[in-house]
Amino acid sequence: MKRSFSWVRLAAMVLAVVLLAGCKRGDERLDETETLPVDALYEEAKASMEGGNYERAIRYYKRLTSRFPFGDYAEQAQLDLAFAQYKRSQYDEAVSTVNRFIKTNPAHPKIDYAFYLRGLVNFDRNRSYIDRWLPSQAGNRDTEAARQSFNDFSELLRRYPNSRYASDARQRMVFLRNDLASYELNIARYYMRRAAYVAAANRAKYIIENYQQSAQIPEALAIQVEAYTALGQNEFADDARRVLELNAPGYAGGTAQKKSWWRRVWPF
């Protein structure tokens, strides 16, 4: 009985030593963010981010900005923190970090990057993993972030038209414009399939007025022609047809009236 008790006591002592050693190592890692100078702390954070360890980078950048809230390192750390949060899909946190940077550093040399990064965060916010590999289906998701991203890039171009990020921002705005127009067009198609011709015509009108030069304009005009014709509003139908022929001569694209078996099952 005594021998058994001794073994139990020995095992308990070994376990306690292991746990204490683990706690000590954890404390050492934790204390590193409390003792490193600002330059070393920044380099650790930067190395973590470049190595893809965004969670560790976020922890170190946050500690840096907390311990050293002023200076060049703190300013750069805020931008890097926002990017790391973006890469970790922490979109709300990333936008908050960028907004805080813009508010406190309005004349920073990299302020254009801050506006660009905010647009980039919102660009990806509501896009699923599948959306990144397959063509966008804007009608199947919320478009609030897409609209905000468009506004963010627009503000970047308005404030800093010569920014190094301007060209990419313009290309993304073209994509977003077509994406948002596709969303509206999906709804117009849905209304046409349900013979809701007034709603379809109004939705097509919205596309024409708000997403000029988008690839969806010809089909929007074609929907107007069909919808107004179905409503007996021949004058409006003729006007839409003339605009269609002027802007897309020989247009032979499909309209909402043509249904595939899949569209009959799933209207969007």
Share of the chain above pLDDT 70, in %: 76
Q: What is the pLDDT of residue 258?
A: 44
Domain ranges of the chain: 29-108
pLDDT value at position 123?
94
Is the model's pLDDT at 134 over the cut of 80?
A: no
56 contacts 84 by C-beta, under 8 angstroms: no
Mean pLDDT computed over every residue of the chain: 83
- DSSP state string for the chain: -HHHHHHHHHHHHHHHHHHHHHHHHHHHHHHHHHHS-HHHHHHHHHHHHHTT-HHHHHHHHHHHHHH--SSHHHHHHHHHHHHHHHHTT-HHHHHHHHHHHHHH-TT-TTHHHHHHHHHHHHHHHT--TGGGTS---GGGS--HHHHHHHHHHHHHHHH-TT-TTHHHHHHHHHHHHHHHHHHHHHHHHHHHHTT-HHHHHHHHHHHHHHSTT-TTHHHHHHHHHHHHHHTT-HHHHHHHHHHHHHHSTT-----TT---HHHHH---
> Quick one: pLDDT at residue 51?
95
* More confidently predicted of 10 and 161: 161
- Is residue 36 within 8 A of residue 64, CB to CB? The reply is no
- Residue 77 contacts residue 48 (beta carbons within 8 Å): no
pLDDT of residue 9: 63
Tokens 């899909």: give the residue: 89
Report pLDDT for 185.
95
pLDDT 10s digits, 9-34: 655 565 655 555 555 454 445 557 77
Q: Which residues contact 77 (CB under 8 A, 6 or more apart)?
A: 42, 45, 61, 64, 65
Per mean pLDDT, which range of 1-5, 64-68, 139-143, 261-265 is the poorest?
261-265
164 or 252, which is more confident: 164
Q: Which of 260, 193, 259 is nearest to 226 (CA)?
A: 193
Worst-scoring range by mean pLDDT, 80-94, 166-180, 237-251? 237-251
What is the predicted pLDDT for the residue at 266? 40
Class of domain 29-108: mainly alpha
Query: How much is the average pLDDT of 193-207?
Result: 96
Per residue in 213-256, pLDDT (tens digit) is 899 999 999 999 999 999 999 999 999 999 999 888 877 665 54
CB 216 within 8 A of CB 210: no
